[in-house]
Structure 1
């Protein structure tokens, strides 16, 4: 750990010393959605067509599979976890038929 000029570094980063010490306490904490992320990866590995799953289909698949020790969260949380592990897809936009002149 840094010794001596901790106050100086905290001022440079515009962070209070209290916030820095709170960060040190929680930085080694495991991610609370790790089991959910592992269950999502398992669903994707089951079939090659599953990589197109969005948040609603992924949540439905999780509800059907019901993995042990995993609470199935809302669609929004499923989307955030998918973004975090890099498996989310942006929905394709439908053309509205209006051309710009």
Structure 2
């Protein structure tokens, strides 16, 4: 058992729905980070506003795609497991996922 596995899941550590694709997610986030750094360079270089806004849109779409992927994994793993076990934990996980979806829709 690793140190991370020994910590309780409530502490924010443990096996999560995204764990199996963690490397893929990190790669995607590094690409998004590169897009944001590119935006900084564009502003430093006084690039035309519309060109910067086009890149902002691309970065926003990339973050949204990441969020949807993470949400899907959460539903398949965390919510599904809670529903399978039943009880108040299931209702709490569904409510938590619903609130996350609402936040995503507001952005």
TM-score of the two chains, using structure 2 as the length reference: 0.30
The structure that has the greater radius of gyration is 1
